[in-house]
Structure 1
Amino acid sequence: MISPERLDVLQTQWVRFVGGLGVEPANAYPVFDRLVAAHSEPHRHYHTLEHVAEVLKVVGRLAKFADDPVAVQLASWFHDAVYDPKARDNESRSAEMARAALQEMGIDREAEWVADLIRATANHRSLDDADTDVLLDADLAILGAGEARYLRYAEAIRREYAFVPDDDYRKGRAAVLEKFLARDRIYRTDVMHLEAEAPARQNLRAEIERLK
């Protein structure tokens, strides 16, 4: 649960950001309210506004490596706007929500690219361009977090999949984590590879051991 103070900061950040793209506050607030409502659904424990805030923080650090940092930041706000652990089309539906909201606010130029970036988070495979590299690295930054934060993340994911029996969850979750470990690089940007690759692999191996 995000604190009221942090929510106020996010709201100010959103209004200021889209204001720089020509959006009046009166048009920015309703979209922000919809984002808050979406990320506050009771079945969410990790894919919340806290996650959005963490992704935005990393995107801010990596913005200089993006070709279109505005699109990457917009995609960060919307990439988990639709999240149902039982569904397989969350990313495509989030992309459509983003495109509609951006067009509603008159940010037409970015709408299609933002939607494409969000779709790329479905399998966390880059489109071999700088923008998706930045977005995906920010989305996966949690894997390289400190031990306490990583444990809280892993526990939150389990809560989101509470409907899955323990044995099935352990097998499925371990398989997902092992796919990340099998990659040559988890992080595409050099700075994230340097800073987070080793701790991410350590966290993943530790969680796999706990799952087994």
Structure 2
Amino acid sequence: MTGATMEGANEARRLRYWRRIEPAHEPGAYRALDAAYRQPHRAYHSWAHIDELLAGLEHFDRLATRPDLIAAAIFWHDAVHLARDPDGKTRLDRQNVRDSVAAFHRHTLLDGNEAKAVEELVMATADHVGARASCELYPGFSDDLDLFVDLDLSPLAAPWDIFAANTQKIRSESVGVEEAEFAANQAKMLEGLARGDAPVFRRAETRAAWDATARVNLARCIAGLRAAGR
């Protein structure tokens, strides 16, 4: 498949999923997302990342109780992504996630447990390892949260050349951060995901598909980052 063909397929999938959840949004919601994901500073946290997660959801759709709510979380989870605050301080990922949740609430027509579910799914990306459902907002919500977290981590299992390119894209988004600081921070984050012998992915099906490759990638990348941070 050529690059243009793949891009067309990704856009078609994206629009197909959006049409499913569009009635749950205010008019103009997709335009707001499109403007966000096309911001010039975004190298990794762009439409390409959203498309990759939607492809994963399409593949594992049978595991989802509410694929529509997972799709909504995929669309909104990186709606806000800034490296620095207006005062120049490094911006914490958790603040970007909170602001993404706020963007979702500005545009959604969902309410009650459905809106709360999307909020919790998005907030789970602030702490992939520790995130847990506060309660069963609907039957199967905990399993859906686990699936969503796995989908967001699925790029860890990409072929090594893509994994390495993604790391460079993430580096380019860290405006003003020194190389040694970026390497140390990224290595610490990846070590938190590797966690010794613990599986990277939560669901048995995603673990079978992705865990082994992700572990090799993580070990290789962490070693390189630690060397660069010395």
Compute the TM-score of the two structures, normalised by the length of structure 2.
0.80
**Residues 8-23 of structure 1 mapped to structure 2, 5 A cutoff:** 9=12, 12-18=15-21, 22=23
1:121 aligns with 2:128: no
Cα offset, 1:11, TM superposition: 5.9
CA 1:15 to 1:123, structure 2 compared with 1: closer, same or farther past 3 Å?
closer
Tell me the number of residue pairs that the alignment of Structure 1 and Structure 2 aligns: 203
CA 1:11 to 1:206, structure 2 compared with 1: closer, same or farther past 3 Å?
closer
Aligned to 2:36: 38
CA 1:5 to 1:193, structure 2 compared with 1: closer, same or farther past 3 Å?
closer
Choose which of 130, 152, 156 in structure 2 pairs with 1:139: 152
SS at match of 2:189: helix
Choose which of 152, 163, 171 in structure 1 pairs with 2:165: 152
1:185 aligns with 2:199: yes
Question: Residue 37 of structure 2 contacts residue 45 of structure 2 at CA under 8 Å; is this kept in 1?
Answer: yes
**What amino acid maps onto 1:139 in structure 2?**
D
Question: Residue 99 of structure 1 contacts residue 112 of structure 1 at CA under 8 Å; is this kept in 2?
Answer: no
Choose which of 65, 68, 72 in structure 1 pairs with 2:66: 68
Cα offset, 1:99, TM superposition: 2.1
Compute the TM-score of the two structures, normalised by the length of structure 1.
0.86
**What amino acid maps onto 2:132 in structure 1?**
L
Aligned to 1:194: 208
- Distance in 1 of aligned mates of 2:104 and 2:116: 9
Choose which of 95, 104, 108 in structure 1 pairs with 2:111: 108
CA 1:197 to 1:7, structure 2 compared with 1: closer, same or farther past 3 Å?
closer
Question: Residue 194 of structure 2 contacts residue 200 of structure 2 at CA under 8 Å; is this kept in 1?
Answer: yes
Stretches of structure 2 lacking an aligned partner (at least 5 in a row): 85-90, 134-141
**What amino acid maps onto 2:185 in structure 1?**
G
**What amino acid maps onto 2:147 in structure 1?**
V
State the identity %: 26
Cα offset, 1:64, TM superposition: 2.2
- Distance in 2 of aligned mates of 1:121 and 1:15: 21
**What amino acid maps onto 1:193 in structure 2?**
R
Question: Residue 50 of structure 2 contacts residue 74 of structure 2 at CA under 8 Å; is this kept in 1?
Answer: yes
- Distance in 2 of aligned mates of 1:61 and 1:11: 14
Comparing 117-126 and 44-53, the one that deviates more? 117-126
- Distance in 2 of aligned mates of 1:15 and 1:132: 20
- Distance in 1 of aligned mates of 2:10 and 2:56: 18
Question: Residue 17 of structure 2 contacts residue 71 of structure 2 at CA under 8 Å; is this kept in 1?
Answer: no
